[in-house]
Amino acid sequence: MNNSSPINPATDKTICLIQLTRIGDLLQTMKAAQLFKTHYPDVRLILVGRKKFLAPLTFLLPKTFAKIYALDYEQLVAPPEGSTTPLNAALQRLRQWISLINQENIDVVVNLSFSPSSSYLSKLISAKHHLGLSRRNNGELEIGGSWAQYIYATTMAGPLNPFSIIDLYQLMLAPARDLAKNPLALAASHHSSTTELAVWRPSTLPADWAKRDFTLVVHPFASHGKKTWKIHKWGEVIYKIAKNLPSLKIVVVGGPHDLKDGHQLEDMALIKQVMPQIEWQIGKGSISDLFHHLKTARMLLAPDSMAQQLAMFSETPAVILALGCVRPGETTAYTPYNLVISPRRGCFPCFLQDACPDYACHAHLNETIVAQVVSEYLTTGAINLAKFKQDNSLYYREGLTLWASEIESNGLFNLRPLWGGQDVRDIFRQLYRVAFSYDLAQIEGPAPFPQINGSLRQLLTQHQAGLHYLADLSQFGKQYSQAIIQELALSHPAMEKIKELTQKIAEIEDLQNILKKTYPYLSPLIDLGLVRKAHLAGNNLVHLAEASYYTYEHSFCQAQIMHDLIQQTIDHYQSFARP
Amino acid sequence: MNTLQQELDTLLAAMAAQKKFSRDDWEALLLAKLVEEDGHEQQQSH
């Protein structure tokens, strides 16, 4: 298993990407692939996805992928009706389909989905290297590549990942230095101010933006009720925007399954007052038609959904409402001219499966403020933040954060807070961003000190104690691993001693899990160490013990880096705090 | 293929016919079976 470097485009000329999740994930995959192709145009990219999600994107995907293989559940996987040996018949069809893929002489398989099916499929596709989830010959799970291990350890477990998913996909595909070549990246001399801006303007807008129709596309729907407002709030915001801008055309879009909510919206008394400004496109047309609407419009207003991912390709600035389980830092469309509005609430973001009877975070996004943000950005291409402060009471402003997307000079996507302070998760994300981007990719970049207060300082100090414990456990791990190596070097190694040392290493893992419960904001560090430990590279005990030693060494260094970053943050705060 | 494996396959086929699996489970099971067969083939060729 190749655990270290990503692909070598000089020799790896055919790369197969597996993306078995939904349309939004396919669009994110395509964006990462598109950016990769700008640096390596002679590398052939093949995509494997599900037929039902690939089919609506046939107008877009072939621009980047030389070949697309569709996993058609009904034709390839479902037990054939009427067959007396349904298992064998299904296996036969799948085997034939996979053998077609294997005729492509693939150099590297990169699995960008994290599911059991995708891991088995990755194993079945022949290649020199497999990155992402795959399987060993005995069926055990294997995660190839340091960035795939990072994704598995952090994004699946909680909301502390500080990177865009598209950046993570890029880092799985290409050397980190390629990210800085993005033409939309800020200049190296650019420094984002840490003081409050009076006026925010994106670093760039699409070249044809001013010539586009004065049209707003609104896509009020999402894959889950948690992620979007109830329809009446959408009706209120559409009404307010229409009243603010009487010459604006508003195109309301959605799929056939959104028709019921669409009719409810049309029937609202407020909407009837502004009906002449609205074009209804719910349940009419395809995703390709939605793309064409976006291409001619000035802006998109939507929750986190496929529509904002599509807006990346139509180069349409978007105002995105991030609600419920959405992690805007991970999923916001990868262009430098979007605004995100998210609630400031302890439970945000949650997990999809968390029970939530009333979606309380939805109320934090006030319709008037959303309408103001959209109206001003549409008309001026900027947001006058000083005026917003004057026009909106603290009560409403404190309930939300307004973020602006940018691509930093090092090529990493970032959401910069324009107003709304940072909570403890924002602080830790900011620190992890510095630590992981340097440690895993040697990327340095703009790193303003997080803005903390007295209680955040206390929390950070507590977690420094946790980092001490983590460093100590890592030292013990190194010690036991080294003892195993030394024992194996003897002419007659004592297996009982090796078993005992292995048991001690297993106890370290138990203690790390306990540490995670006491210091939950250290979970990315601890989980990454555990995932690495579970996927040690090596064919014999000596190699595995050496890999174990270096994994603990790495954990020790990461604990030190985080400790130092926290200390610098505290020192900076104390140098400005009142005595 | 040993008797246990044959019995397992018979059971799986029966459950599939009765649609006892979710789509995701069934799909993962089929793919896992192909990985297992590949593993057996590689062992035998060595």
Does residue B7 carry a pLDDT above 70? no
Residue appearing with tokens 């603010």: A244
DSSP 8-state class, residue A73:
I
Query: Closest by alpha carbon to A534, among A544, A542, A525, A543?
Result: A544
- Which pLDDT score, from 0 to 100, does residue A403 have? 94
Does residue A109 carry a pLDDT above 60? yes
- Contact assessment for residue A282 and residue A264, using Cβ atoms and an 8 Å cutoff: no
- Which pLDDT score, from 0 to 100, does residue A1 have? 33
Q: What is the ipTM of this complex?
A: 0.84
Which residue among B9, B23, B39 sits closest to A73, beta carbon to beta carbon?
Answer: B23
Average pLDDT across chain A, whole number: 92
- Which pLDDT score, from 0 to 100, does residue A321 have? 96
Distance CA A117, CA A124 (A): 11
Q: In this predicted model, what pLDDT tens digit does every residue of A51-75 receive, in sequence order?
A: 999 999 999 999 999 999 999 999 9
Q: In this predicted model, what pLDDT tens digit does every residue of A296-338 receive, in sequence order?
A: 999 999 999 999 999 999 999 999 999 999 999 999 999 999 9
DSSP three-state, residue A215 = strand
Q: How far is CA A573 from CA A225, A425, A452, B4, in A?
A: 40, 17, 7, 67
A→B interface, C-beta within 8 Å: 73, 77-79, 85-88, 90-91, 94-95, 98, 115-117, 120-121, 123-124, 135, 137-139
Cβ distance A86 to B28 less than 8 Å, yes or no, reads no
Q: In this predicted model, what pLDDT tens digit does every residue of A516-530 receive, in sequence order?
A: 999 999 999 999 999
Cβ distance B31 to A94 less than 8 Å, yes or no, reads yes
Cβ distance A120 to B39 less than 8 Å, yes or no, reads no
DSSP three-state, residue A388 = helix
Buried b (16+ CB within 10 A) or exposed e, A507-545: ebeeebeebbeebbbbbbbbbbbbbbbbbbbeeebeebb
DSSP 8-state class, residue A12:
-
Which residue among B12, B28, B36 sits closest to A87, beta carbon to beta carbon?
Answer: B12
Question: Any residues with CB less than 8 A from the CB of A178 and at least 6 apart, and which?
Answer: A35, A36, A39, A170, A411
Neighbour order of strands in the sheet with A67-71: A67-71, A44-50, A14-19, A108-111, A129-135, A141-144
Query: Cβ atoms within 10 A of the Cβ of A91, count?
Result: 17
Distance CA B35, CA A457 (A): 51
Q: Which amino acid is at A349?
A: P
Q: How far is CA A350 from CA A68, A93, A323, A526, in A?
A: 35, 40, 9, 21
For A249, the enclosing helix (H) or strand (E) is strand A249-254
Question: Any residues with CB less than 8 A from the CB of A174 and at least 6 apart, and which?
Answer: A6, A7, A9, A36, A39, A40
Task: Give chain A positions within 8 Å (CB) of B27.
Answer: 73, 77, 117
Show which of residues 7-26 on chain B sit within 8 Å of chain A, judged by CB atoms.
9, 12-13, 16-17, 23-24, 26
Task: Give chain B positions within 8 Å (CB) of A70.
Answer: none
Residues in chain A: 579
Cβ distance B42 to A137 less than 8 Å, yes or no, reads yes
Q: In this predicted model, what pLDDT tens digit does every residue of A251-307 receive, in sequence order?
A: 999 999 999 999 999 999 999 999 999 999 999 999 999 999 999 999 999 999 999
Q: How far is CA A334 from the centre of its chain?
A: 10
Q: How far is CA A450 from CA A91, A191, A406, A429, in A?
A: 54, 15, 18, 10
Q: In this predicted model, what pLDDT tens digit does every residue of A120-147 receive, in sequence order?
A: 999 999 999 999 999 988 788 999 999 9
Distance CA B12, CA B28 (A): 13
Least confident residue range of A352-356, A436-440, B18-22: B18-22
Least confident residue range of A82-86, A160-164, A483-487: A82-86
Which residue among B17, B30, B39 sits closest to A94, beta carbon to beta carbon?
Answer: B30
Which residue among B28, B36, B42 sits closest to A117, beta carbon to beta carbon?
Answer: B28
Which residue among A73, A117, A138 sits closest to B31, beta carbon to beta carbon?
Answer: A117
> How many A×B Cβ pairs under 8 Å?
65
Per-residue 3-state assignment (H helix, E strand, C coil) for A109-157: EEECCCCHHHHHHHHHCCCCEEEEEEECCCCCEEEECHHHHHHHHHCCC
- Which pLDDT score, from 0 to 100, does residue A11 have? 86
Does residue A162 carry a pLDDT above 80? yes
Sign of the torsion formed by the C-alpha atoms of A199, A202, A207 and A212? negative
Rounded-to-10 torsion of CA A357, A362, A368, A370: -160
Q: What backbone phi and psi angles, to 5 degrees, belong to A274?
A: -120, 20
The pTM score is 0.93
Query: Band of the pLDDT at B16, cuts 50, 70, 90?
Result: low
Chain B residue with Cα closest to A85: B13
- Which pLDDT score, from 0 to 100, does residue A391 have? 86
DSSP 8-state class, residue A539:
S
Question: Any residues with CB less than 8 A from the CB of A57 and at least 6 apart, and which?
Answer: A23, A26, A27, A30, A287
